[in-house]
Structure 1
Amino acid sequence: MTQETIQATMISTLINGQIDNWDNLLWSVGSIDIPASEASVAGTNAATLLPWLPPSRRTRLLEYFSCADVREELSPELEIYLHKLNLNKPNNRLGTYFERLWSFVFSKHPDYELLHQNLPLRKDGKTTLGELDFVVRYLPSNHCEHWEIAVKFYLQVTDKYWVGPGLKDRLDIKLARMADHQLPLIEIPTVKSLLENHGLNIDRQWALMPGRLFKPLDTSRQIPNHLFWWVSLSGFRSFIESRAKHNTLGWLALPKQAWLAPQGKIAGMTAERLLETLLSSNFTHPLCIAAISRSGEASRGFIVPDDWYQNAKQRLGK
C-alpha cells in the first residue's frame, strides 16, 4: 500500500477540510514566498540569489482575481478546466495541482500570454537537460519571462534545517537547486540554441515559492505557540489532555489540495475524536490538520509519528 493510499484511508475516517479551487488560486497568487516568512531563511545565500517576483506584480495578480465579477465569470471555468485535466492526466501531486492553477492564471490574466508550460529541453532530441516550468509574455512591457514555481511545506528540525513532512525534501537543498541549476539553465549554450529553435529569447526570470514553515509545538501551553506548528502523536496527546477543559476548537484533517488556502467556518471534529482515531490507526505518515475557532481557521499543524523527529535527524546526519 502506497503512502498516498495509507494517508487517504486514514483521512477518510475523519472530518475533512474543504477544497475550494478558487480560494486556492487566490492563495497561490497572493501568498509571500517561504524565505520572506522566516528571517533565518531569507538571509541564506541561495535565497538572496534568487530573483523573487516583485510584490507589485503579485499584488496586481491578486487584485484582479479577487474582483467579484472576475470570480463569478471565471470560477466555473476553473472547475471545468481542472476537471478536464484530471480526466485526461490524473495526478494527485500537490505540485501538479499548483502548476495547473498557475496555468489557468497565466491564461486568464490580461497582463500575460502563456507561451509554454513544462517546456522540455533535450539535446539531440534525446538527452534531457532540464525543463522550464513556465515561459510567458508579460504584455505591459512585452518581455518574455521564464518562471520557476514551487509550493512547499517544511517542518523545522534544527535552527538551520527544515524538512518536508515525507522526509524526501529539504528547504536549503530546494533553494540551492533553484539558484544553481533550474534558473541558470537558460544560460547554457546548448539550451540557448534550443530556445532559439522555439523562437524564444528570455528577457528575465522569476522564482516563486509560497508555502508554510512549521515550528515545533510547545505542548505546555494552553494554545499553540505558533500559527503553524508540528508535534509528535504522543506530544499532541499530551497537549490535548492537558487542556481538556479548554477544548473549544474543532479539528479538520486536510487532504493535500486543502493545504493551500485557510479553512473557513467549518464544523470540525472534537480533539478527542481526532486523537482516538489516530491512536487506533496504523499512524505511520504525517497528517496535516487545522484548528477551527468560531471565526474560522485559528492555526494549522502537522501531527507526525513518534519516530519522525529521530528519522529526520538521521537524514541530516545529526
Structure 2
Amino acid sequence: MTPSIPFATPDHWSNLLWALSAPDIAPEFPLPWLPPQRRERLHQFFSAPDICSRLRPELELELQNLKSRRLGIYFEQLWAFAFSHHPDYTLLARNLPIRRGEKTLGELDFVVRHLPDDTVEHWEVAVKFYLQVADYWVGPGLRDRLDIKLAHMQDHQLPMIQQPESRSQLHRAGLIPERQWAVMPGRLFASLDETNPSPRYWWTTARSFQRQFADRQWQWLQLPKQTWLAPCSGTNPLAPQPEEHLTQATAYYPRCVAGLQGATEVSRGFMVPIDWLAQARQHILLG
C-alpha cells in the first residue's frame, strides 16, 4: 500500500508569477496568443522584490477570502490582481455577461485598457491540465478535452464581441475592444509505461506509481488544486491532514503528486483510478 503523502499548501505569489509567465499549452493553435514581450513585462514588474514585499500580503488576503474552490476562478483572480496593480493596465470589466433578453449568451473574462497605447482589449484566460489518451488530451476529471476547449475559445468565446448584442452592450458601456488576447497555460501529462518510462509530467495508476518510483529517494507531496500551478519547492509549507493512504484515495478520483529532490521539484503526475483509462476512452467515443 502506498504510504500517506503530505499535502502541499499553495504559494500564491509564486502562482501569480507562474500565471503571468508560463507558456500557453497549445501555441501552435491559431488563437491571438498574448505576445511574449507582454508576458515578460507583467512578470518583470511583479518579480521586483519591493513589489513582492508590498503586494504579497494583499494577494494572500484576497485569495484566503476567495469562496470558490474552482481552479479556473482562482486563476482568474490572479489575473484580476495583476490587472489591478500593474501600471500598464486599468481593469474595466470582469466576467461581463452578454445577454439576449433574459438569456445569457456568454461572458467576457476581462476587458482592460492597455495604457501604453491607450487601447481597450478583450482577454480570455484559462488554465488547463490534460492527460494523454492516444491522440487526445483529456482532463483528469473527464469533463474536458484540449481540442474541444481550443475550438470553443476560437469559435465562441473570442467571437463573442462580434455578436450584435455584444457590440450594442459594449457600446452603451463605453467599452469597445480594439484587440483580443488569449492566455491558456497549463501542463500536458503523458502516459507512464514501459515505452515511456520517465516523462517529466506523467499519469499512471497507483500500482504503477509504486513500481516506477520505488527506488527514487524523493520527497513526495500531494497537490490540491491551488498547488497545480507553480512548481513546488522545499519552501512549500505542508498542510495538516488526517491520515489517508493514497492508494485508497486514488480508487475514486485522480490525485496530483509532485516529487522533490532536495528543494527542487523533479517530477509531477496524476495517479488515476484503475478504470480511468477505460472511462476516458468512452468519453472520447461519445465526443
For normalisation by structure 1, the TM-score amounts to 0.83
- SS of aligned partner of 1:212: strand
Residue identity opposite 1:237 in structure 2: Q
After superposition, residues 203-218 of structure 1 pair within 5 angstroms as 203-218=178-193
Q: Kindly report which structure 2 residues correspond to 1:230-241, keeping only aligned pairs within 5 A, or say none.
A: 230-240=203-213
Q: Once superposed, what is the RMSD of the aligned Cα atoms? A: 2.1
Which structure carries more strand by proportion?
2
Please give the alpha-carbon distance, in whole angstroms, between the structure 1 residues aligned to 2:237 and 2:44.
Answer: 31
1:24 paired with 2:5, answer: no
- Is 2:87 the partner of 1:110? yes
Question: 2:89, 2:138 → 1: CA distance?
Answer: 34
Tell me what 1:51 maps to: 32
In 2: Cα distance, 1:176 partner to 1:16 partner: 35
State how 1:242-261 maps to structure 2 within 5 Å: 244=214, 246-261=215-230
What letter corresponds to residue 23 of structure 1 in structure 2? S
Shift in Å at residue 207 of structure 1? 0.3
Inter-partner Cα distance in structure 2 for 1:55 and 1:195 = 28
Query: 8 Å contact 1:134–1:148 — kept in the other structure?
Result: yes
In structure 2, the CA distance between the partners of 1:216 and 1:282, relative to structure 1 (3 Å rule), is closer
Whether 1:182 and 2:157 are equivalent positions in the alignment is yes
Larger RCO (CA under 8 A, 6+ residues apart): 2
Q: Secondary structure at the match of 1:117?
A: strand
Please give the alpha-carbon distance, in whole angstroms, between the structure 1 residues aligned to 2:250 and 2:58.
40
Give the aligned partner of residue 310 of structure 1. Answer: 278
Contact 2:10 2:236 in 1 (8 A): no
| Residue aligning to 2:201 | 228
- The residue number in structure 2 matching 1:297 is 265
The correspondence of residues 150-161 of structure 1 with structure 2, limited to 5 A, is 150-158=126-134, 160-161=135-136
Contact 1:219 1:235 in 2 (8 A): no
- CA distance in 2: counterparts of 1:133 and 1:297, whole angstroms: 32
**Is the 2:23–2:185 contact (alpha carbons within 8 Å) kept by the matching residues of 1?**
yes
Indicate yes or no: 2:121 matched with 1:141: no
Q: How many residues align?
A: 279
Q: Cα deviations across residues 24-50 of structure 1 (Å, max 9, x unaligned)?
A: 0000001000013xxxxx2xxxx22x1
Counterpart of 1:190, as a letter, is E
TM-score (norm 2): 0.92
Where in structure 1 are there 5+ consecutive unaligned residues? 1-12, 37-41
Q: Which runs of 5+ in 2 are unaligned?
A: none
Partner of 1:10: none
- Could you tell me how far apart the structure 2 residues matched to 1:231 and 1:120 are? 39
Residue 281 of structure 1 deviates from its aligned partner by 4.5
